[in-house]
Chains A and B, each alone.
Chain A
Amino acid sequence: MRQCRIILKVTELNLGERRKRQLEQNSDVTFGNVRKSFGDLEVLKGISLEIRRGEFFSLLGPSGCGKTTLLRILAGFEFADSGEVKLRGQDVTQLPPNQRNVNTVFQNYALFPHMSIWDNVAFGLKMRKVAALEINSRVEKALETVEIASKARNKPAQLSGGQRQRVALARAIVNEPQVLLLDEPLSALDRKLRANLQVELMRLQSRLAMTFIFVTHDQEEALTMSDRLAVMNRGVIEQLGRPEEMYEHPANAYVAKFLGSSNTIAATVIAANRVKTAFGELETECDLPASGEVTLAIRPEKISLSRTQSSNLNTVAVKITDEIYSGAMDAYRVKTSDGTELEVSAMNIGEVMLDFETGETLYASFPTHKLILLEAHTKAEIT
């Protein structure tokens, strides 16, 4: 999938075009105005969403935003209060989980402790009364796909977290579901293992050409892995799109802050391309309204710091209040003369001229095309 996109960009192959059109035509999962409440708490406030066939789709949001509930409604563990859920055109809103052609990889893996790895993976096929010979070959293939075939005779308790994760994956994909649901499957693993499994999941997804719906609260994970993602907040979808769209053009302050970090700047429009902020005037390429208050945002890595003032355009004198060293990146907290705090980050490339100390006074410049105009209210606030 992701490879396809790259090919498309570079050479504009017909194959890629066709694949892309195909993706857009075939919707695999459709949520139509899905609402769900638990007691007085409305966790889903009318979610409408289309997920395309064969895409890696992520639902991203903090805990309690409703992403897991949405996934559980698709799996059939919960039922929507109103609205409809369709799987390849078939209305499955009221169907029990065992009659839906979707499989879930659970956060805690939910492997059956009394069964061997082999029996765990074969469970779904046995339940569907697949012929024994076919079960054998499919289970073997699934175990090989996730590279855990050598542990087939072991019990889940004898496996490490990462290995259990692979088994959970094999147990789901062996059934060749229309849609694979992944409920924060990597959150229990350590960082290094998680990064490896991320890559493996992406490869697996493009090889199987299966629709993956991935629930996570980890923005980095969602940005890395997804073809498209939806950022959720208090039961609504704040924004939906491709990772680079979402990161470069967040719709509002919530998305801007949730996907990476962001500086938000309150400003007043004073001309077609100029705003006035607490620390001076800024020029921007955003489509500004004719007048009034606006909120602009800029990513920390897009502000550049220097000891000399190279130009007057969008350059502000700042003082470094904190320096946070984190290996590859240097993060700085800086303060403008009026006291506005900003976050700035820079690659740690080891150049003396870019190695700033706390207390130094520097010039921060805001590239005009890197300033983003945000919507004043989040969708959660409006609903």
Chain B
Amino acid sequence: MIAKTNKPRAKKVTASNTVGGEVLNPIQVLARAALTAGPGVIWITVFLVIPSFILLAFSFLTRDDLGGVTRPFTPDNYVRFAGWDILGFDPVYLEILGRTVLVSLVTTLFCVLLAYPVAFFIAAHGPKGRNTWLTLVIVSSWTNLVIRTYAWMIVFSPGTPVTELARVVGLVKAGDGLYPSDFAVYWGMVNTYLPFMVLPLYTAVERVDWSLLEAAQDLYASKIQAFVQVLLPQTLPGLVAAIILTAIPALGMYVVPDLLGGAKVSLIGNSIAQQFGTSRDWPFGAAISFLVMGLTLLVLYLYARRAGEEGMRDLL
């Protein structure tokens, strides 16, 4: 989409045989292309394209008795995901998918509500203060996710100061912990994804033209009106990027719900992990993976169609 706009207008002199004025023979053109774009293409092919095709192929295959992958080619895995099993219709995976989307969206919503004030707060500081605060935002994500999640388990277990406080307020019964619970899952998710929300939002807020605040006030807007109608809309591209950066990884999260939710909360990420792990049903795991990926791409595609080229460029 972007490359299209960069194409030179002159069509007669094809771009391929002149580079900076010198005329090249086809082999030279190829050699240059290979040297410049080559490494990237190889990287993407080896680590993204080939594995994706293997995954796609697996999703149409069948699990053998030992947990390997074997023929025949069959759409059974997709049918099973939709709810039809040998035992009849039970849309358990659709329910999990629905719950996952919900958890992802709620997590994103909490992140937006928390990140906006943080982004404005950081942007209000000078260059030095900004760096300090940004580092503080990022520093928590330097800890390994599993370790951080275990830490929350300890914090939320029965008898800790946090849990005691919750008990006094009346949130939990005596002897219970704050985990495992939906609360703990959301807490862990928001904690994980907040930096991914803050950074793009901060970038957007930092680019906001504050002089427009004066222009709005000059045109009879109150401070609140000026903020809502003039400043916030300028951060929308950043907000969309931040939502995508948060909601998509949140769809695939399984460590946090697994640990902080106990066995009670199962999300699609847990299902995929289970298929590739304990169940040793790679074809079904591959099918779920592909469906989640397809869903994500579909949403992105719909957004791209609506926002157009400009919106996509802001996003990238």
Contact = CB atoms under 8 A, between A and B. Distances in A.
Interface residues of A, number: 23
Interface stretch (A6-14, A123-131, A334-342): A123-131
Interface in B234-280: 234, 236
B222 A104 contact: no
A113 B209 contact: yes
Interface residues of B, number: 17
Contacts of B209: 110, 113
A171 interface: yes
Interface in B219-245: 219-222, 225, 230, 233-234, 236
A98 B220 contact: yes
B154 interface: no
Interface string A77-105: 10000000000000000001111001110
A96 B230 CA distance: 18
10 contacts: A75-B214, A97-B218, A98-B221, A102-B218, A110-B209, A110-B211, A110-B214, A113-B234, A127-B220, A175-B219
Contact of B211 (A106, A171, A175): A106
What DSSP secondary structure best describes chain B's contact surface? helix
A192 interface: no
A205 interface: no
User: Which 5 A-B pairs have CB atoms at the shortest separation, nearest pair first?
Assistant: A124-B219, A110-B215, A127-B220, A97-B217, A114-B233
B240 to A, nearest CB: 13
B216 interface: yes
B212 A112 contact: yes
Contacts of A98: 217-222
A321 B182 CA distance: 88
A75 B222 CA distance: 14
A140 B236 CA distance: 29
Nearest to B217: A97
Contacts of B221: 98, 123, 127
Contacts, number: 58
B225 A127 contact: yes
Contacts of A104: 214-215, 218
A368 interface: no
Given A113-B209, A114-B233, A114-B234, A123 B219 contact: yes
Contacts of A75: 214, 218
Contacts of A106: 211, 214-215
A141 B178 CA distance: 64
A239 interface: no
A97 B221 CA distance: 9
Nearest to B214: A77
Given A103-B219, A114-B236, A97 B214 contact: yes
B219 A127 contact: yes
A102 B218 CA distance: 8
Interface in B182-224: 209, 211-212, 214-222
A252 B209 CA distance: 41
Given A104-B215, A113-B209, A175 B234 contact: no
Interface string A58-92: 00000000000000000111000000000000000
A108 B236 CA distance: 22
A144 B7 CA distance: 38
